[in-house]
A and B are shown apart, each in its own frame.
Chain A
Amino acid sequence: MLKYTFIFFGLLSVFGACTSQKIVQPLEDGENQLSGNIGGPLIGFAGTTIPIPLTSINYARGITDSLTFHTGIQTTSLIYKTLQLDAGVTYGFFIPNGWIPGLSASGSLNYLNDFRAPNFKIYPQIDLNAYWEYGELHFMYFGVTNWIELSNIRAHDEDQTKRILTGIQFGNTFSTPQNWNFTIESKWLAPTRNSKNLTIDYKTYSINNQPKGAVGIYLGIAKRF
Chain B
Amino acid sequence: MKQLLFYIGLSIFLSSCLDLDENLFNPDTSISEYQFDDFEGIQEIDVSEYTIPQDSITLFTLEVGTNGEKIYATYVGDISRIGLDTVILYCHGNAGHMDFYWPRTKLLANVGGLCNYGVLTFDYRGYGLSEGKPSEDNMYEDSDAAIQWLKDQGLNDDRFMMYGFSLGAAAVCELTANPRTIAPSKIMLESPFASADVMVQDGSGLSLPKSFFVNLEIDNAEEIKKISQPFYWIHGTIDDFLDINTHGEVVYKNYQGTYSEAHRIVGANHADVPLVMGFEAYIESLKNFITLN
Query: Chain A residues near B14 (CB, 8 Å)?
Result: 78-79
A4 to B23, CA, bound (A): 13
Chain B contact residue count (CB 8 A cutoff): 57
Interface centre among A1, A7, A160, by most B CB within 10 Å? A1
Q: Please encode chain B, from 198 to 220, with 1 for each CB lying within 8 Å of some chain A CB and 0 for all others.
A: 11111111111101111100000
19 contacts between A and B (CB under 8 A): A6-B23, A6-B199, A13-B203, A14-B212, A15-B206, A77-B212, A115-B15, A115-B16, A116-B212, A117-B209, A147-B206, A153-B207, A155-B207, A155-B221, A160-B207, A197-B246, A198-B240, A198-B243, A200-B203
Q: Mark B96-124, 1 if CB is under 8 A from A, else 0.
A: 10000000000000000000000000000
CB-nearest residue of chain A to B216: A8
Contacting pair A1 B197 (CB below 8 A): no
- Residues in A whose Cβ lies below 8 Å from that of B244: 197
A80 and B213 contacting across the interface, CB-CB below 8 Å: yes
Q: Which of B95, B212, B246 has the most CB of A within 10 A?
A: B212
Task: Select one of A119, A155, A200 contacting B198, CB under 8 A.
Answer: A155
A interface residue numbers (CB < 8 A to B): 1-16, 77-83, 112, 114-117, 119, 121, 123, 147, 149, 151, 153-156, 158, 160, 162, 165, 189-190, 193, 196-200, 213
B22 contacts which chain A residues (CB < 8 A)? 8
B166 to chain A, nearest CB (A): 7
Q: Please report the number of residue pairs spanning A and B whose Cβ atoms sit closer than 8 angstroms.
A: 160
**Pairwise interchain contact A149-B207, C-beta atoms closer than 8 A:** yes
Pairwise interchain contact B23-A11, C-beta atoms closer than 8 A: yes
Contact (Cβ within 8 A) B93 A199 = no
Bound CA–CA A156/B193 (angstroms): 13
From B57-65, B70-78, B258-266, B267-275, the one touching the partner chain is: B267-275
- Give the chain B neighbours of A154 by CB distance below 8 A: 198, 201, 207
CB-nearest residue of chain B to A83: B15
* Chain A positions within 8 Å of B201 at CB level: 154-155
